[in-house]
Copies of this chain bind each other. A is one copy, B any other.
Amino acid sequence: MALKHSRQREMIKEFLMTRTDHPTADIVYMNVRKQHPNISLGTVYRNLTLLADLGEIKRIRVGDGVDHFDADTSPHYHFVCTECGHVTDLQMKNLDELVTLAGANFDGQIAGHVTYFYGICGDCGKAGRDASPAGGAYH
């Protein structure tokens, strides 16, 4: 149980702190690998899970089938582009009031809520208007 220091874990967290987008485990893996070529994907997954459990990073699930990670643990909301799949932060007030609202007619203890928005991001909207038939993948 006693946590021991590890270079790998440190690098993973450091990398995550340099990013404002929300990398997936695979992205983290490919990047940390540049500095530490023989790190394994399993180690990346293990540490991301560990860090998330410790509350040092946040695991983000936006229904695209892949977990994203965020070094910014302060409460905030996300937007997912249905065109390119990018996940970006959203500036808006906290919505914890919803929990009270939802708890009103509910038998049980509501601990929290998950909310995220989806649509077409600024870049994809622009590209679409211009010309490019393009089209990313978001399932």
- A117 near B112 (CB under 8 angstroms)? yes
Interface string of A92-121 (1 = CB under 8 A from B): 110100110110111111111111111111
Interface size class of A (residues with CB under 8 A): 35 or more
**A62–B115 Cα gap in the complex (Å)?**
11
Question: Of all chain B residues, which has the CB nearest A120?
Answer: B109
State which of B61, B82, B92, B123 has its C-beta within 8 Å of the C-beta of A111: B82
- B102 near A77 (CB under 8 angstroms)? yes
Answer whether residue A133 sits at the interface, using C-beta atoms and an 8 A cutoff.
no
Query: Using Cβ atoms and an 8 Å threshold, which residues of chain B touch A102?
Result: 77, 79, 90, 92, 117
Answer whether residue A91 sits at the interface, using C-beta atoms and an 8 A cutoff.
yes
- A108 near B125 (CB under 8 angstroms)? yes
**A119–B82 Cα gap in the complex (Å)?**
29
Query: Using Cβ atoms and an 8 Å threshold, which residues of chain B touch A93?
Result: 101
Report if A117-B125 is in contact (Cβ < 8 Å); known contacts: A79-B106, A81-B108.
Answer: no
Query: Using Cβ atoms and an 8 Å threshold, which residues of chain B touch A121?
Result: 107-108
Using a CB-CB cutoff of 8 Å, which residues 54-109 of chain A contact chain B? 61-63, 77, 79, 81-82, 90-93, 95, 98-99, 101-102, 104-109
Chain A residues at the B interface, C-beta cutoff of 8 Å = 61-63, 77, 79, 81-82, 90-93, 95, 98-99, 101-102, 104-125
